[in-house]
Amino acid sequence: MRPLTEAELKTLLEKLATYCGKGIQSLIADGTADRHVFRIQKDRVYYVRESLANLATSVKRESLLSLGTCLGKFTKTGKFRLHITSLSVIAPHARYKVWVKPNGEMPFLYGGNVLKAHVGRWSEDCPAHQGVIVLSMNDTPLGFGVSAKSTAEARRLDPTGVVTFRQADIGEYLREEDTLFVT
């Protein structure tokens, strides 16, 4: 594991800022004595306590499979793709959220987009093409995606209109269990 380069860190923080906005500051500097850092192993980025990352330096890189929470991976073109495993890290800091009614949870968890008919409520003033966290009505994070329309435009949509394009959902743990944690 190694620290991220400046270019990698910039790409990662831009992607996280899409979902967290100014809440990203609390991810980086959480105010505790044992802060969290970003580390990269092969092409995957992990969010781990600094003391644990320092202990991991005694393990050979080839022998170390994972450490901390996997946020995602860098593609061959240098872009960063968030994995569903990052949901527990970004959900508490999310700026924009969409709450899905119980009748819309299963279509979302099976890989579908969020339709207006399934939305119970959403964050005010959400712009179009902004990262949003999808929650159940009892505030359980289900996944994340990108808003298809702004909040004002979404209110005027018909019930079958797409409000949020799905990017990842917790159903991926079952659908992609063979490839999700493969290095």
Inform me whether the pLDDT recorded for 37 exceeds 70.
yes
Whether domain 2-90 has CATH 3.10.450.220: the reply is yes
Q: What is the pLDDT of residues 108-127, one digit of tens each?
A: 999 999 999 999 999 888 99
Residue spans of the domains in the chain: they are 2-90, 96-174
Cβ distance 148 to 132 under 8 Å? no
Q: Shortest CA distance to 161 belongs to which of 123, 107, 116, 130?
A: 116
The SS3 call for residue 114 is strand
Q: Other C-beta atoms within 10 Å of 106: how many?
A: 12
User: How far apart, in whole angstroms, are the C-alpha atoms of residue 147 and residue 163?
Assistant: 6
Contacts (Cβ under 8 Å, ≥6 apart) of 167: 82, 143, 144, 145, 146
What is the residue-averaged pLDDT of the chain? 88
User: How far apart, in whole angstroms, are the C-alpha atoms of residue 103 and residue 44?
Assistant: 35
Query: Which residue type occupies 173?
Result: Y
Cβ distance 145 to 164 under 8 Å? yes
- Phi and psi at 118, nearest 5°, equal -95, -10
Inform me whether the pLDDT recorded for 183 exceeds 60.
no
Could you tell me the pLDDT band of residue 35, with boundaries at 50, 70 and 90?
Answer: confident
Share of the chain above pLDDT 70, in %: 95
Q: Other C-beta atoms within 10 Å of 21: how many?
A: 15
The CATH number assigned to the domain with range 96-174 reads 2.30.130.10
